[in-house]
Chain A
Amino acid sequence: MPVRILMFGWEFPPHNSGGLGTACFGLTRALARADTLITFVLPKRVNAGADWLRMCFADLPEAIGRGITAYLYPYITSENYARERKGLPPVYGLNLIDEVRRYGLLAGEIAASESFDIIHAHDWLSFPAGLAARRVSGKPLVVHVHATEFDRTGGTGISEEVYKIEQEGMRQANAVVAVSQRTKNMIVRHYGIPPEKVTVVHNGIEAADHRPLPDRLVALKRAGEKVVLFVGRITLQKGPDYFVRAAKRVLELEPKVYFIIAGSGDMEGQVLREAAALGIADRVIFTGFVRGAELDALYQSADLYVLPSVSEPFGITPLESLINGTPVIISYQSGVAEVLRHALKVDFWDTEELANQIITVLRHPPLHKTLKQYGGAEVHQVTWTAAAEKCLNLYRSLLTPA
């Protein structure tokens, strides 16, 4: 008997703005290929076209999609919501928390019209929706934590309201999924959830989603330049400032290196100014937000990928880099450090060590080659199929009467 899942998730690639969408898609597709039937609910903007839902699910025909009109998207903040709502029709909530609650109420209506065995909700924005669905149906609820408020804020200035929604969701859920042991530890320590209630399911990657592309940086390479890459939102959490500081140290010894920052975010101006102040503005390239084939090409062109995150629940980008054949340096403060052995690792604050690692990799081809070869082999073991299998086991344990 297939397990019927009502899933509350987020935008899919190629229309996503970060790892959450990639993770929702990867996991849902792998689950859909297993013995499940999935109804996937996601927020829909009022002005979305009639074709919107079909477009969203173009790459995921195995799942049934449903939209709820709501102004929610991953990484949205109260400030963003307040600013953006001014130009919107009045159907949306007064503030972000209000909107999240309103989304929850509408989710209850959807739940009443669907039949399913289990509810699975991704990240705090959808926890009230998951709880509402459970109230209506009485079915078990799994909440999936891709990031906590402590990760998003770097531990400073957490929103009390967001924290409460996260905690309430985790407390009331029948089971909690954490994307890493690191995240599980946070959930236990900061949210007071009993460890036996939290299952670690690492994210994965699917090789078939990425393919070899022509080198976009041929001219640079021909000139003997090396490329070190950062991909992610330019926010406190991702450590772009540490990347720039390490770049400064690298350039002191190895002047022929370009540092590419692919992404956008609230710290963009600050990081730009820091690069200029360090006198390396001509060596740091900001590409803006990059996705899909363009992003794959960027990974493939780079000599080295760096994830200097201050607090990274998982971190899918290093997997993407390795799948594209580029070795990685990742911070110890990331969940992905738990699943990759063939990677260089560094404490995010230790820019001296980060620079040391970058220079040594660029100078010694056997080190680059070994990291690429073994890391490239290892990343194929980190699959969404394995993640889906763990989720299925969890569902079954909740559906089997004790």
Chain B
Amino acid sequence: MPAVCFYFQVHQPRRVKRYRVFDVGHDHDYFNDDSETDLNNARIIRKVAGKCYQPTNTLLLELLNRHPEFKVSFSLSGILLEQLEQYSPETLDSFRALVDTGRVAILGETYHHSLAFFYSLPEFERQVALHRTAIRRTFGVTPRVFRNTELAYNNNLGRWADQHGYEAILAEGWDKILGWRSPNFVYRPKGAKRTRLLLKNYRLSDDVAFRFSEKSWSEWPLTAPKFSHWVSAVNGTGDLVNLFMDYETFGEHQWKDTGIFNFLRQLPQEVLAHPDNGFITVEEAARDYPARDEVDAPEVVTWADTERDLSAWTGNDLQTSALNAIYGLEPLVLAIDDPTLLEAWRRLTTSDHFYYMCTKWFADGDVHAYFNPYRSPYEAFIAFINAVTDLRLRLEVDNLALAPSHSPAVLVE
């Protein structure tokens, strides 16, 4: 009796504008591009809300009303929530309406959609706490299942989730950690006592997220009956089918004219046509199924590219030096109590900034080019590193003011 477990990732970064070296020391607003380009965050939010969030939310609400068995799960980054509040509050209301049905689970993640777990555990925990607060305030629910930015997962993170009482944590169902095992069961992170591990069925997920409109694909066109048939085929060989994908799949990555909305509209009835099938949230998945085995993930696994590692964010010297530059500021940020600088710093930890600097254009190229609002990874680095330079100067000035030996009173006799 396979149950379909949908989880949609909803996130938009605050992209750094074309911040030039000449802006350092003069302009402290790094994210306020107002051009007609894809660096204009307000413009992007309104565009994606119109093409994806609003129509898909409307459709999901309709499906939830029509099928009492239908359920989905979402993870929304804090940085997205505040941008929706700012630029498209009606979209935020439509997410609230979904959660209010009681059949939509909300996952926990880092507020700033960062990779802080791998650079600073204390900052990671602060960002997770910020996110929990934001989710409670926005939706009145507390996340009980965790997913890390880019689905980046390893044993340490599994242990962390276990220690912090999460019912489950999500990861890519990558062959390297699964071996011969199927992603269609619930597992246990290595050494975990209570927390479950839910693994993405990347084949079926990517059939929808990436291949849906690919005319050269032998299964094109993908229809709801066909896909439901594949789901039903799991019957007897698995408990659940984890379909994890970016929410922007609907209407943004797969445009409306590909038929993606009709596909989604028909899918619940087609899946439910088979009496053994159902839908569950990530929380129910953790509760309702036994953990079949322990999964060992000593290396980081993500949901990106053919390598499924962190190389899309940390693969070249631009990325590592940018990451070191931003996380290197943590002591300066913590030494002073300035919410503006703290928030500017955290916004610069968002993983997307590093993704835009990715130079792996040759094999995985198209995906990176499509998602890059900069004309090249080099321009992404230049804007970012100059903004970091400005932030560092501001932090150094504030830190200097705090240091007693440098106080002007000493200099003036």
In the complex formed, the residue of A with least CB distance to B24 is: A253
Q: Quick one: which of B22, B318, B320, B376 contacts A356, CB cutoff 8 A? A: B22
Main secondary structure of the interface of A (DSSP, over half): helix
Whether a CB of chain B sits under 8 angstroms from the CB of A344 is yes
Contact yes or no, B21 A360, CB < 8 A: yes
Q: Quick one: which of A352, A367, A370 contacts B20, CB cutoff 8 A? A: A352
Distance, CA A370 to CA B18, complexed state (A): 20
Whether a CB of chain A sits under 8 angstroms from the CB of B321 is yes
Range of interface residues on chain B?
A: 10 to 19
> Please, could you name 28 A-B residue pairs with CB atoms under 8 Å apart, sorted by A?
A253-B21, A341-B376, A342-B359, A344-B378, A344-B379, A345-B375, A345-B376, A352-B22, A355-B21, A355-B22, A356-B22, A356-B386, A360-B21, A360-B381, A360-B382, A360-B385, A363-B21, A364-B321, A364-B385, A366-B317, A366-B320, A366-B321, A367-B378, A367-B385, A370-B316, A370-B359, A370-B378, A374-B359
In the complex formed, the residue of B with least CB distance to A360 is: B382
- Point out the residues of chain A lying under 8 angstroms from B220, CB to CB: none
- Point out the residues of chain A lying under 8 angstroms from B21, CB to CB: 253, 355-356, 359-360, 363
B residues 10-27 near A (Cβ < 8 Å) are 18, 20-22
In the complex formed, the residue of A with least CB distance to B386 is: A360
Contact yes or no, B376 A344, CB < 8 A: yes
Whether a CB of chain A sits under 8 angstroms from the CB of B118 is no
In the complex formed, the residue of A with least CB distance to B320 is: A366
Distance, CA A364 to CA B316, complexed state (A): 14
- Point out the residues of chain A lying under 8 angstroms from B385, CB to CB: 360, 364, 367
Contact with A along B283-300 (1 / 0, CB 8 A): 000000000000000000
- Point out the residues of chain B lying under 8 angstroms from A149, CB to CB: none
Contact with B along A348-378 (1 / 0, CB 8 A): 0000110111011001101101110010000
Distance, CA A347 to CA B72, complexed state (A): 47
A residues 217-253 near B (Cβ < 8 Å) are 249, 253
Contact yes or no, B376 A357, CB < 8 A: no
- Point out the residues of chain B lying under 8 angstroms from A249, CB to CB: 22
- Point out the residues of chain A lying under 8 angstroms from B361, CB to CB: 341
Contact yes or no, A357 B382, CB < 8 A: yes
- Point out the residues of chain A lying under 8 angstroms from B22, CB to CB: 249, 253, 352, 355-356
- Point out the residues of chain B lying under 8 angstroms from A363, CB to CB: 21
Range of interface residues on chain A?
A: 20 to 34
In the complex formed, the residue of B with least CB distance to A254 is: B21
Which of A352, A370, A374 is the most central at the interface, judged by chain B CB atoms within 10 Å of its CB?
Answer: A370
- Point out the residues of chain A lying under 8 angstroms from B321, CB to CB: 364, 366
In the complex formed, the residue of B with least CB distance to A250 is: B21
A367 in contact with B376 given A352-B22, A374-B359 (CB within 8 Å):
no
Distance, CA A356 to CA B18, complexed state (A): 10
Distance, CA A352 to CA B320, complexed state (A): 27
Known contacts A341-B376, A344-B376, A345-B375; 20 further A-B pairs (Cβ under 8 A): A249-B22, A253-B21, A352-B22, A353-B18, A355-B22, A356-B20, A356-B21, A356-B382, A356-B386, A357-B382, A363-B21, A366-B317, A366-B318, A366-B320, A366-B321, A367-B381, A367-B382, A369-B317, A370-B359, A371-B378
Contact with A along B64-101 (1 / 0, CB 8 A): 00000000000000000000000000000000000000
- Point out the residues of chain B lying under 8 angstroms from A341, CB to CB: 361, 376
Q: Quick one: which of A342, A352, A370 contacts B317, CB cutoff 8 A? A: A370
Contact with A along B361-378 (1 / 0, CB 8 A): 100000000000001101
In the complex formed, the residue of A with least CB distance to B18 is: A353
In the complex formed, the residue of A with least CB distance to B365 is: A341
- Point out the residues of chain B lying under 8 angstroms from A359, CB to CB: 21
> How distant is B312 from chain A, measured CB to nearest CB, in Å?
15
Distance, CA A357 to CA B376, complexed state (A): 13
- Point out the residues of chain A lying under 8 angstroms from B316, CB to CB: 370
> How distant is B370 from chain A, measured CB to nearest CB, in Å?
15
> How distant is A36 from chain B, measured CB to nearest CB, in Å?
32
> How distant is A194 from chain B, measured CB to nearest CB, in Å?
30
> How distant is A16 from chain B, measured CB to nearest CB, in Å?
32
- Point out the residues of chain B lying under 8 angstroms from A369, CB to CB: 317
- Point out the residues of chain A lying under 8 angstroms from B318, CB to CB: 366-367, 370
- Point out the residues of chain B lying under 8 angstroms from A352, CB to CB: 20, 22
7 A-B pairs closest in CB distance: A366-B321, A366-B317, A356-B20, A360-B382, A359-B21, A356-B21, A370-B317
> How distant is A170 from chain B, measured CB to nearest CB, in Å?
32
Distance, CA A344 to CA B321, complexed state (A): 18
- Point out the residues of chain B lying under 8 angstroms from A360, CB to CB: 21, 381-382, 385-386
Distance, CA A359 to CA B389, complexed state (A): 13
- Point out the residues of chain A lying under 8 angstroms from B376, CB to CB: 341, 344-345
Distance, CA A353 to CA B378, complexed state (A): 13
Distance, CA A389 to CA B321, complexed state (A): 41
In the complex formed, the residue of B with least CB distance to A341 is: B361
Distance, CA A166 to CA B320, complexed state (A): 51
> How distant is B385 from chain A, measured CB to nearest CB, in Å?
6
Contact with A along B314-334 (1 / 0, CB 8 A): 001110110000000000000
Distance, CA A357 to CA B375, complexed state (A): 13
> How distant is A334 from chain B, measured CB to nearest CB, in Å?
15
> How distant is B355 from chain A, measured CB to nearest CB, in Å?
15
Distance, CA A367 to CA B381, complexed state (A): 8
> How distant is A228 from chain B, measured CB to nearest CB, in Å?
15
- Point out the residues of chain A lying under 8 angstroms from B381, CB to CB: 360, 364, 367
Distance, CA A365 to CA B70, complexed state (A): 53
> How distant is A337 from chain B, measured CB to nearest CB, in Å?
11
Distance, CA A253 to CA B318, complexed state (A): 22
Distance, CA A352 to CA B385, complexed state (A): 17
> How distant is B313 from chain A, measured CB to nearest CB, in Å?
15
> How distant is A370 from chain B, measured CB to nearest CB, in Å?
5
Contact with B along A321-333 (1 / 0, CB 8 A): 0000000000000
Distance, CA A342 to CA B381, complexed state (A): 13
> How distant is B324 from chain A, measured CB to nearest CB, in Å?
9
Distance, CA A363 to CA B382, complexed state (A): 11
Q: Quick one: which of B20, B317, B320, B359 contacts A353, CB cutoff 8 A? A: B20
Distance, CA A136 to CA B382, complexed state (A): 58
B residues 177-215 near A (Cβ < 8 Å) are none
> How distant is B178 from chain A, measured CB to nearest CB, in Å?
34
Distance, CA A190 to CA B22, complexed state (A): 39
In the complex formed, the residue of B with least CB distance to A373 is: B317
Distance, CA A356 to CA B382, complexed state (A): 8
Distance, CA A369 to CA B379, complexed state (A): 15
Distance, CA A366 to CA B385, complexed state (A): 11
- Point out the residues of chain B lying under 8 angstroms from A356, CB to CB: 20-22, 382, 386
> How distant is B19 from chain A, measured CB to nearest CB, in Å?
9
> How distant is A47 from chain B, measured CB to nearest CB, in Å?
50
Distance, CA A355 to CA B385, complexed state (A): 15
Distance, CA A345 to CA B320, complexed state (A): 23
